[in-house]
Structure 1
Amino acid sequence: MKIQFLNLWYCRAALFFLSALACVACSDDDGPAATPETEVNYAVSTVSGAWPDLTTYIQGLENLDLSSVDNSNAIELTGSASTVAYGKSLFATPFGAPANLVKYVFNNEGLPEEEERIVVPGANTFSTLHFESETVAYGTVSGGISKLIIFNPTTMRIEDEIPLSAVIDKVPEATRTYYLDMLERDNKLFMGVHYENNFVPVNDSAYVAVIDLATHQVEKVIADGRTGMVFGGQSPNSGMVKTSNGDIYVQALGTTNAGGSSPSGVLRINNGETTFDQDYFFNLEDATGNICFGIYHTSAGQSFTARVEDESDFWEYATGQPQFKYYKINLDGETSEGAVQGLPVTYGSRRMIIHEESAQSLLFSIATNDENAVYRYDLSSDNATKLFTSSGGYITGLEKLD
């Protein structure tokens, strides 16, 4: 009896154990627990390699509270590409024919995925993008065919095109025409233009094309000889800004470093006007002491540019050293407020980015021979500290996804 009782107990225990395993197995059949979705709030682009063998890496970040970033969660784009964010999407313009505009969205794991692309045969590259709304955006293409593309950024379909032959015809002796920053105001698109002849500015003037969006025609190209070479900075839309009162300020590099006589400066197109204000000219070379490249304006009204330290090595290949220092400027007072404290001299040729993080802080990209980093600049204390470094190359894109 005792043996039978023990056998019965062991059988029941075994049956209970097997039942428990079966329950666990049934639970496992339901699949693993769902992975929490990653919320991507920032997009970062980096470039590594040596010309011409460059690779662009794109990735999403939940926040910027990190000490370093690599390319382990990035996708690769062959060659060099610029990036611009609109909404929750990132738009990339890889360099090389045919012209491509690629739209990326971020999946639940925070990884970028290509959603759609626009290809323009006959053009070498997209130059600059301007987003008006979720359904209307503008992009210039150049090299071969030159035109302004009107497209829907949601569907990534071309809706219309505006020929830019009138812009080219303005300076027929130019062998190259560059289409630069774009701003919209009063149903007109203002677009910076630069003309070259064998890599040399054709003259000492600065040019802006005025495009009527109601008729889809180039209305005119305005010029001013007080400065020249509207070439923007190393970041998208960094050569033309619009202030809260509707005035447009255009920054030009000047031609003193290219055999000309016009200094670096800032021109103004007053609100409601389509011509340069002849009563305003901000001579940046006089104010800062040297050639300046690019302009950025915050929602709180502060303005910034980048000054070259040694103009004889503007393109940064003679000395092998970075040459640009970020400066704070006063557009209304036409004065310099000095270098931004806490920021090292950076390579302009490796992209200079200024991004408004909040009402109290800005983000600056820095590229030196020792580090590639992003610095946070506190407006109240007027000082910058290092935020994070990149081990995956120099930073060419830093965008907030709204």
Structure 2
Amino acid sequence: MSFSCSEDDGPKTGGENYVAKGEYIITATPKESEGVADYVLNVETLMEGKTTLLGNGIEQDGTYRYYITNNNKFFSLLYGQGDPGAVNNYQLESDMSLTKSPSLPSETVQTFTNVNDDVLMARVSRSSDNPSAEWYSLNTNTFTFDAEGQINTAELAPEGEQAFFTWMTQVGDKVYAPFMSMKACCNDAWGTEYPDQAWVAVYSYPSMSLEKVIEDDRTSFLGRYFNSGLEVTDNGEVYGFSSSVATLNDEFTSSKPSAITKINPSTMEFDESYFFNLEEASNGYYIASQHYASNGKFVVMMRSKEDKGAYSSGNKLAVVDVYAKSFTWITGLPNANEISSITSTNYTSEDGSTVHVGVNTESGNYVYNINIANASANRGLKVEAGNITAISKLSPVEE
């Protein structure tokens, strides 16, 4: 099977129900090829119809790509697996064509987040000989790195271990960086002697000066490798999500449940009065990742504890209301055992009522449109010849 990167050879938009180009961004990996990068497509709707990678979209270079949208630009970050990375940005023109910037060389990074009009990125060392995290601030207006610095991660973690940031999140004018503690040595580089502890380093921005490290012993660390564990809701409240996947010698060792905690941004401390046990609410599942909708409600990607993995993605979805501490399984999705993957980069409608998630199965790859109010999903756009990896939206650039 061959693929074309030409935008001029787009799919038909007639009787075969292919949708026209539009504001929604879809990335997908070719199904019949290995070791190739995603294609970037744009479509007018996520609710129905179909699109295809065949003769359509923009082919990217490199194998692993990750995505973030800021300042009406869609950024694609190359994960170089130890080699240097790169950043591209895409913009939507008034004729609904996508334009791609020249690649901006960068380091391969493990965290990236929006801070105002910047994309803050960090490359985190896993070596006990060099316990550090290098951070870079990408200005989305100029598409240049405006600032960079280094963080000593051994100074954040308990003695004898070092911090590995799971993600970073803007909270007001600060950056909160949850981290796991790891030995980074001794044939058990990801293991920790502290499986029942959560930490968050708080930094001022843009200097990235450390203000404090806050901790909590009611859960294991927040987030997971390459997965955000901290979210800010509409009212400015901050919630932490723990999967409870800490290990020692490749065995899960945390005695704490997968749960949600809360941080008070005014005091920069965990709220001891708030605790939401997700394992209990879900009858034996743990959270793998989450996506914010609105009004304290999240779509959470869950997985059975019997099928726990430190890097496994969720295959059963629910709506969680962190304000009300309610948990509702989502109906209308394929069975968990039929799902091969679910997108980690998803899109919430402007009114917060619908979350659009890519669900890949052997029988087909579709965008599922999740109604947050009644926790139900409807199958929408079909993506042919590729596994969906991200969903976003851009507005056309004004001429």
Tell me the TM-score range normalised by the shorter chain.
0.7 to 0.9
* One-letter identity of the residue aligned with 2:91: V
Please say which of residues 215-224 and 195-204 is displaced more in the overlay. 195-204
What residue is the counterpart of 1:58 in the other structure?
40
Report if aligned partners of 1:146, 1:164 keep a CA contact under 8 Å in 2.
yes
What residue is the counterpart of 2:171 in the other structure?
184
Query: Sequence identity of aligned pairs in percent?
Result: 18
Deviations 1:192-215 (A, max 9, x none): 222334233452222222011264
What residue is the counterpart of 1:264 in the other structure?
258
CA gap 1:213/1:79 in 2 versus in 1, 3 angstroms: same
Q: In the alignment, which of 345, 358, 362 is matched to residue 355 of structure 2?
A: 362
Report if aligned partners of 2:32, 2:385 keep a CA contact under 8 Å in 1.
no
What residue is the counterpart of 1:288 in the other structure?
282
Match of 2:101, SS state, is strand
Shift in Å, 1:174 = 4.1
Q: In the alignment, which of 351, 371, 378 is matched to residue 378 of structure 1?
A: 371
CA gap 1:51/1:199 in 2 versus in 1, 3 angstroms: farther
Q: d(CA) in 2 for partners of 1:107 and 1:399?
A: 16
What residue is the counterpart of 1:98 in the other structure?
84
* One-letter identity of the residue aligned with 2:390: G
Q: d(CA) in 2 for partners of 1:272 and 1:50?
A: 51
**Higher RCO by CA contacts (8 Å cutoff, separation 6 or greater):** 2
Report if aligned partners of 1:45, 1:83 keep a CA contact under 8 Å in 2.
no
Matches within 5 A, 1:282-321: 282-289=276-283, 290-309=285-304, 311-312=306-307, 314=309
Q: CA RMSD in A?
A: 3.1
CA gap 1:288/1:190 in 2 versus in 1, 3 angstroms: same
Shift in Å, 1:41 = 1.2
Shift in Å, 1:182 = 1.4
* One-letter identity of the residue aligned with 2:300: T
CA gap 1:220/1:345 in 2 versus in 1, 3 angstroms: farther
1:396 aligns with 2:389: yes
1:149 aligns with 2:144: no
Q: d(CA) in 1 for partners of 2:306 and 2:68?
A: 30
Matches within 5 A, 1:22-61: 40-48=22-30, 53-61=35-43
Q: d(CA) in 2 for partners of 1:86 and 1:282?
A: 31
Q: d(CA) in 1 for partners of 2:37 and 2:361?
A: 19
Count residues with an aligned counterpart.
353
CA gap 1:88/1:224 in 2 versus in 1, 3 angstroms: same
Q: d(CA) in 1 for partners of 2:108 and 2:384?
A: 31
What residue is the counterpart of 1:21 in the other structure?
none
Deviations 1:13-33 (A, max 9, x none): xxxxxxxxxxxxxxxxxxxxx
The answer for unaligned runs of 5 or more in structure 2 is: 1-19, 184-188
Q: In the alignment, which of 106, 109, 114 is matched to residue 125 of structure 1?
A: 109
Shift in Å, 1:171 = 4.2
Shift in Å, 1:60 = 1.9
Shift in Å, 1:107 = 4.7
* One-letter identity of the residue aligned with 1:263: P
What residue is the counterpart of 1:15 in the other structure?
none
Q: d(CA) in 2 for partners of 1:67 and 1:231?
A: 35
Shift in Å, 1:251 = 0.6
- Answer 1 or 2: which has greater helix percent: 1
What residue is the counterpart of 1:344 in the other structure?
334
Q: In the alignment, which of 200, 208, 226 is matched to residue 208 of structure 1?
A: 200
Question: TM-score by structure 1 length?
Answer: 0.77
Shift in Å, 1:286 = 1.2
Q: d(CA) in 1 for partners of 2:91 and 2:30?
A: 23
